[in-house]
């Protein structure tokens, strides 16, 4: 069908829905807007689906939610006994999250699949834990994570508590594509409850067990309770689902001086106090937290995103200025703290391993090697870290110690199989307390101590936002052009090898090749002469190309200069394409 035929079909199919009809009639005559909404269906992949809220095939709305759910139900019902275990459903504070979650539950019930629906918003890591805790067949979270407020999304988890892999996603997609929007129905809510198919999860049924297992991951609880009671922290949940669990875990572990940004405490799908996306990677997201921290004299600031799987941290430096740590810096501080303290206590297994991604800092490797710990690098996406945890458990080859992504995601346990902002807040509080006790140092000092020991590693990430059909074509063209004519240098620094994860080949400048063992992915990775590297990849969840630049040297200023030079050259190249 053509774009206009799809548009007219929606008007016909949903003629009984006045809101949808009004929204679609309002864009009649706007060819570009109609094309963007109807040139394709909202894609479903390993990250589920995510898009701008609105009416249309290529938008997040109740009809796409119901259709995706019917597709998931059909996939689960290919094994009826497995489907009887049910699906756990969580949601965050975004607009329509609660409504989409209820529609999800009632669609499952209409298909005969039991649904466990949380009674209020919950973090992603708690949903991941609940899937395993309740022995469910799958899990769903309604969230668009750290995207701008006009977005929402739908993430699917397997029975291991991790986001589904490519094979499962393809199986679900196959059924979704064969399902008509008009074939999706909801069971009456009271009927669903009376039949036992719909079960509402209250605040005691899973939350307490989740909190209990989180506390088992504290390495030095007595030290944390003692020093942490003097640690002054400001926390902002950025209007999201971290508000209750983060405050609870810190309070129960002995953090008494915890001030919360009241303006950002309550759920707000419009994120009306923010001038940027609710992303703790953005310095602007800390504006109100900085003011409160200065007022109360705090030394550390925590910020979690709406679904509380990411954590951003700001600390006071020696000059009394606030310093926003990068995801790599947080990850390396936590990795070093965990490994050093486990070793000191005689609790570091001989087969210990840490896992991070190919776009995360090589400083993690230097730290791991210092403690004789194996470091494994995987593709971007925490599901790949979860795959390694599963491999460790099933084969016994390694013991998982810590996993992190440069995009502010961290995990130190195995009961949750996704990045865990609650876990990360607890760990950073413990690490901050330890540095205070041992050296009378802050986390800013901790970073500098690691640099002095392992080298001054730096990183810089630039995003090129390319929305709509034109944007998709530009991304495809850019990646194709880079493959056909890869750059020979960046700012005069020679490229010594190119890794193409789509063809699974690493090729050196001398023409030598080797096979890459990671799954195929649309990623290009350029190795430079002096241990620096540059990576380019389209985002899997947003309409953008991401550019990663990493460098290392013996001095802070030298590394910054290298980063800026490489980044400027790479940005110029991508803009030309």
Nearest residue to 457 (alpha-carbon basis) of 555, 378, 325, 548: 555
- Catalytic residue among 93, 97, 128, 145, which? 145
- Which two three-digit tokens encode residue 511? 């023409």
Q: Look at residue 353 and give its three-state secondary structure.
A: strand
Element (H, E) at 156: strand 151-157
Q: Which residues partner with 577 through β-bridges?
A: none
Q: Look at residue 217 and give its three-state secondary structure.
A: coil
CB 136 within 8 A of CB 85: yes
Element (H, E) at 553: strand 544-553
CA distances to 202, 235, 299, 470, 570 from 290, in Å: 34, 10, 10, 39, 33
The separation between CA 497 and the C-alpha centre of its own chain, rounded to angstroms, equals 29
Residue-wise over 432-447: b if at least 16 C-beta within 10 A, else e? Answer: bbbbbbeeebbbbbbb
Q: Which residues partner with 156 through β-bridges?
A: 140
- Which two three-digit tokens encode residue 378? 């995987």
For 406, residues 6+ apart whose C-beta sits below 8 A from its C-beta are 326, 327, 328, 331, 356, 357, 359, 360, 361, 459, 461, 548
What is the Cα–Cα distance from 317 to 313, expressed in whole angstroms? 13
| SS3 per-residue string spanning 251-309 | HHCCCCEEEECHHHCCCCCCCCCCCCCCCCCCHHHHHHHHHHHHHHCCCEEEEECCCCC
DSSP letter assigned to residue 380: S
What is the Cα–Cα distance from 262 to 264, expressed in whole angstroms? 5
Tell me, yes or no, if 195 is annotated catalytic.
no
Please give the torsion angle defined by the CA atoms of residues 428, 432, 433 and 435, in that order, rounded to the nearest 10 degrees: 140
Q: Is the dihedral of CA 445, 446, 449, 451 positive or negative?
A: negative
Neighbours of 264 (CB within 10 A): 25
**Hey, which residues are catalytic here?**
145
């Amino acid at each position: 069908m053509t774009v206009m035929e799809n548009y007219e079909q929606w008007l016909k199919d949903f003629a009984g829905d006045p809101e949808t009809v009004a929204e679609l009639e309002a864009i009649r005559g706007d060819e570009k807007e109609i094309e963007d909404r109807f040139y394709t269906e909202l894609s479903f992949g390993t990250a589920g689906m995510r898009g701008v809220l609105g009416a249309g095939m290529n938008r997040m709305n109740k009809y796409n939610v119901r259709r995706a759910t019917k597709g998931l139900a059909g996939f689960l019902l290919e094994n009826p006994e497995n489907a009887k275990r049910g699906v756990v459903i969580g949601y965050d504070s975004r607009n329509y999250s609660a409504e989409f979650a209820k529609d999800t539950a009632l669609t499952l019930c209409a298909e005969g699949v039991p649904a466990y629906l949380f009674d209020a918003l919950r973090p992603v890591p708690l949903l991941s834990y609940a899937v395993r805790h309740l022995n469910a067949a799958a899990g769903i979270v309604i969230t668009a994570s750290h995207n701008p407020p006009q977005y929402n999304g739908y993430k699917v988890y397997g029975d291991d508590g991790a986001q589904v892999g490519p094979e499962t996603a393809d199986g679900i997609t196959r059924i979704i594509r064969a399902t008509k929007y008009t074939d999706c129905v909801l069971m009456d809510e009271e009927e669903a409850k009376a039949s036992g198919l719909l079960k509402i999860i209250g605040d005691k049924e899973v939350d307490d067990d989740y909190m209990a297992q989180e506390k088992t991951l504290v390495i030095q609880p007595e030290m944390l309770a003692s020093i942490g009671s003097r640690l002054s922290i400001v926390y902002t949940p950025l209007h999201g689902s971290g508000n209750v669990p983060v405050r609870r875990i810190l309070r129960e572990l002995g953090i008494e001086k915890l001030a919360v940004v009241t303006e950002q405490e309550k759920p707000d799908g419009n994120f009306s106090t923010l001038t940027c996306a609710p992303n703790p990677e953005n310095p602007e997201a800390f504006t109100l937290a900085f003011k409160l921290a200065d007022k109360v004299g705090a030394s550390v600031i925590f910020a979690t995103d709406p679904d509380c799987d990411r954590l951003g941290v700001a600390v006071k430096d020696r000059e009394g200025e606030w310093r926003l740590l990068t995801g790599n810096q947080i990850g390396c501080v936590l990795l070093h703290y965990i490994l050093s303290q486990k070793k000191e206590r005689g609790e570091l297994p001989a087969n210990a391993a840490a896992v991070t991604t190919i776009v995360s800092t090589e400083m993690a490797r230097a730290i791991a090697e210092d403690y004789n710990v194996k470091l494994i690098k995987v593709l971007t996406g925490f599901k790949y870290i979860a795959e390694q945890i599963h491999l460790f458990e099933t084969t016994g080859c390694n013991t998982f110690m810590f996993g992190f992504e440069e995009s502010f995601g961290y995990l130190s346990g195995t009961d949750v199989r996704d990045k865990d902002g609650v876990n990360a807040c607890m760990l950073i509080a413990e690490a901050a307390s330890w540095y205070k006790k041992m050296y009378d140092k802050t986390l800013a000092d901790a970073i500098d101590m690691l640099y002095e020991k392992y080298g001054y590693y730096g990183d810089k990430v630039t995003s090129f936002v390319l929305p709509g059909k034109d944007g998709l074509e530009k991304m495809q063209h850019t990646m194709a052009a880079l493959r056909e004519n890869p750059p020979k240098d960046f700012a005069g620094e020679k490229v010594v090898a190119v890794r193409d994860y789509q063809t699974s080949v690493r090729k050196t400048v001398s023409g030598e090749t080797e096979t890459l063992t990671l799954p195929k992915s649309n990623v290009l990775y350029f190795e430079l002469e002096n241990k620096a590297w540059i990576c380019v990849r389209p985002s899997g969840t947003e309409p953008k190309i991401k550019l990663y630049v990493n460098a290392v040297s013996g001095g802070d200023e030298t590394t910054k200069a290298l980063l800026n030079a490489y980044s400027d050259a790479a940005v110029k190249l991508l803009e030309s394409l």
